[in-house]
Structure 1
Amino acid sequence: MKYCAIASGSNGNCYYVAKGDTAILIDAGINSKHIHLRMYNLGILPTQIKAVFVTHEHSDHIRGLSVFVKKYNIPVYITNGSYEGTRLHLPSHLVHIIAPDEVTEIGEMKIYGIPKYHDAKEPCSFLVSDGAHNIGILTDIGRPCKNVEHVIKHVDVLLLESNFDEEMLKNGRYSYFLKNRISSGWGHLSNTVALDLFNTHRTSRLKHLMLTHLSGENNSVELVHETFRSHCEDILLSVATRYEETEIFDVVNLNALQNDMRSSMCG
Structure 2
Amino acid sequence: MRYCALASGSNGNCYYIAEGNNAVLVDIGINTKHVEQRMANVGIDPASVKAIFITHEHTDHIRGVSVFSKRYQIPVYMTAGSYRGSRLKLPENLIRIIRRDDEIVVGGLTIRGIPKYHDAQEPCSFLVSNGDINIGVLTDIGRICDNIKQVIQKVDVLLLETNYDEELLDRGSYPFFLKNRIRNGLGHLSNRMALETFLEYRTSRLQHLILGHLSGQNNTVELVQQAFSLYCKDIRLSIATRCQETELFDSQFFSSKSTKEIFVRQLSCQGTIVFPES
Q: TM-score, normalised by structure 1?
A: 0.96
**RMSD value over aligned CA atoms?**
1.0
Q: Distance in 2 between matches of 1:102 and 1:127?
A: 11
Deviation at 1:257, TM superposition (A): 8.9
Moved over 6 A (4+): none
What's 1:122 paired with?
A: 122
1:96 aligned partner:
96
Distance 1:85 1:31 in 2: 19
Query: Which residue of the partner structure matches residue 172 of structure 1?
Result: 172
Q: Deviations over 1:74-94 (max 9, x none)?
A: 000000000000001100110
Unaligned 5+ runs, structure 1: 260-267
2: CA distance, partners of 1:206 / 1:227:
18
Per-residue deviation, residues 42-99 of structure 1 (Å, max 9, x unmatched): 1111111100000000000000000000001100000000000000110011000000
Shift of 1:254: 1.2
* Alpha-carbon shift at residue 252 of structure 1 (Å): 1.7
Report deviation, 1:199: 0.3
8 Å CA contact 1:235, 1:258 repeated in 2:
no
**Structure 1 residue 166, shift from structure 2 partner:** 0.3
Aligned length: 259
- What is the CA–CA distance in structure 1 between the aligned matches of 2:81 and 2:255, rounded to whole Å? 39
Shift of 1:255: 2.5
CA distance in 2, matches of 1:46, 1:167: 40
Q: Confirm or deny: 8 A CA contact 1:102 1:112 kept in the other structure.
A: yes
Partner of 2:14: 14
- Residues 8 and 242 in structure 2, CA contact (< 8 A), matched pair in contact too: yes
**Aligned residue in 2 for 1:155:** 155
User: What's the % identity of the aligned pairs?
Assistant: 61
2:75 is aligned with 1:75: yes
Partner deviation per Cα, 1:102-134 (whole Å, 9 max, x = no partner): 000000000000000000001000000000110
Using the size of structure 2 for normalisation, the TM-score is 0.92
Check the 8 A contact 1:164/1:214 in 2, yes or no.
Answer: yes
Instruction: Report the equivalent of 1:262.
Output: none
Match of 2:40 in 1: 40
1: CA distance, partners of 2:164 / 2:240: 14
Give the letter for the 1:28 counterpart.
I
Cα distance between partner residues in 1 of 2:258 and 2:143? 30
Q: CA deviation at 1:251?
A: 1.1
CA contact 2:13–2:29 (8 Å) conserved in 1: yes
Matched, 1:190 2:190: yes
Unmatched tracts of structure 2, length 5 or more: 260-278
CA distance in 2, matches of 1:194, 1:257: 28
CA distance in 2, matches of 1:41, 1:252: 21
Q: Distance in 2 between matches of 1:88 and 1:154?
A: 33
Query: In 2, Cα distance between the equivalents of 1:251 and 1:168?
Result: 35
Letter in 1 for 2:50: K
